C-alpha cells in the first residue's frame, strides 16, 4: 500500500505531495521519448527471482 515518508532535496527542502507513478531510465530522454512515454501505461516490475524492491525507501542524495 501507499507509504508516507519525508522526501528531501537540497538543503532541508521537503517535497510535500504524492508521487503516483515513477519511471527510471538509464539515459537522458529527448522530448519525443518523454511524450511517447506519457501516452502508454507503466510496465509492472517483475520480481520473480530478483532481490525484492521496496518503493518509498529511495532517497535522493
Could you report how far apart the first and last alpha carbons of the chain are, in Å? 25
Q: Evaluate if residue 21 carries a pLDDT over 90.
A: no
**Has residue 33 got a pLDDT over 70?**
yes
- Torsion sign, CA atoms 23, 50, 52, 13: negative
> Is residue 59 included in any domain, yes or no?
no
3-class secondary-structure state, position 33: helix
pLDDT confidence tier of residue 30, bands split at 50, 70 and 90? very high
With bands split at pLDDT 50, 70 and 90, how would you rate the model's confidence at 23? Answer: confident
Q: Is residue 24 part of a domain?
A: yes
Residue 51 has what pLDDT?
54
Expressed as residue numbers, the domain containing 13 is 7-39
pLDDT at 18: 80
Task: Provide the number of structural domains found in the chain.
Answer: 1
Q: Residue 7 — very low, low, confident or very high, per pLDDT cuts 50/70/90? A: low
pTM (global) more than 0.75: no
Beta bridge partners of 8: 14
Amino acid at each position: 500500500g501507499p507509504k508516507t515518508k519525508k522526501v528531501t532535496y537540497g538543503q532541508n527542502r521537503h517535497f510535500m505531495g504524492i508521487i503516483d507513478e515513477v519511471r527510471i531510465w538509464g539515459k537522458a530522454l529527448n522530448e519525443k521519448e518523454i511524450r511517447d512515454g506519457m501516452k502508454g501505461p507503466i510496465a509492472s516490475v517483475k520480481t520473480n527471482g530478483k532481490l525484492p524492491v521496496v518503493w518509498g525507501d529511495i532517497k535522493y542524495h
